[in-house]
Amino acid sequence: MKQTTLYGILALVMCSVFLGACNDDETYAEKKDKERKAINSFLQRDVAIVSQEGDTVCRVGRIHPISEKQFRDQDSTTNLENNEYVLFKSTGVYMQIVRKGEGRPMKSGDSKQILCRFLEYNILGDSIQLRSDVTYWHAYPDVIDVTNTSGTFTASFNTTVNPGGAMYQVYGNTSVPSGWLTPLTYINLGRQLTSDEGIAKVRLIVPHSEGHTSATTNVYPCFYEILYQEMRE
């Protein structure tokens, strides 16, 4: 991917910000209502996310939401055949665990560096907004420093391992979206050691209140597909 691609990504994000500014006459309640309707439509639309080149990069499908109780009863798993996503009512985040991954979950008192690769899709804008799973960003992975304190996760994007990954370079903030931390209670963190192993992979629907600064400011939800991998010590 050429350097111009980064400028294209930045232009897309700025366009999202501009469109949000153009709607400043809307009340916050109206914006939240529009977001809620966009999420409900996304759940039912049988979405296929397509790249600018016309390739399908993620087949989301028609989503079947389940409750937190059902999720717990299923040993904190989501049935992929039924395309289940658990809804966490307190945050509005929907989560599907595609793979729990190798290794073990973070324990209370643990601090880790986690490498993330992701696809970000603006649900309200109906378009891919950012991808770190492409050639340009391979040299600049998104690394997050995470600590688990009695089940509460805090995290920030690391900018010393490299100049910062896609999220930091595009959105200019080291704060990790709260929605990205939701899976850490339920997935394993490790490294792929053999060909038949797979690192943790999740899909999320993140409302603006659990998203990054651009989403929070402009009140739009995002869909994410994220890989989580523990970095080498």
Give the span between the Cα atoms of 213 and 219, in whole angstroms: 10
Whether the pLDDT of residue 216 is over 90: the answer is yes
Q: What is the pLDDT of residue 12?
A: 54
CB 80 within 8 A of CB 197: no
Residue range 131-136: mean pLDDT, rounded:
91
- The domains of the chain, with CATH numbers, are 3-230 (3.10.50.40)
Burial of residue 206, with CB atoms counted within 10 A of its CB: 0-12 exposed, 13-18 middle, 19 or more buried:
buried
82-116 confidence digits (pLDDT tens): 999 999 999 999 999 999 999 999 999 999 999 99
Model pTM above 0.75:
yes
15, pLDDT greater than 80: no
Q: What distances in angstroms separate CA 185 from CA 40, 126, 174, 200, 231, one per listed residue?
A: 25, 29, 21, 12, 18
**What's the DSSP call for residue 177?**
P
The 10 Å CB-count burial string (b at 16+, else e) for 195-205 is: eeeebbbbbbb
Question: What is the reported pLDDT for 22?
Answer: 52
Whether 194 has a pLDDT exceeding 90, the answer reads no
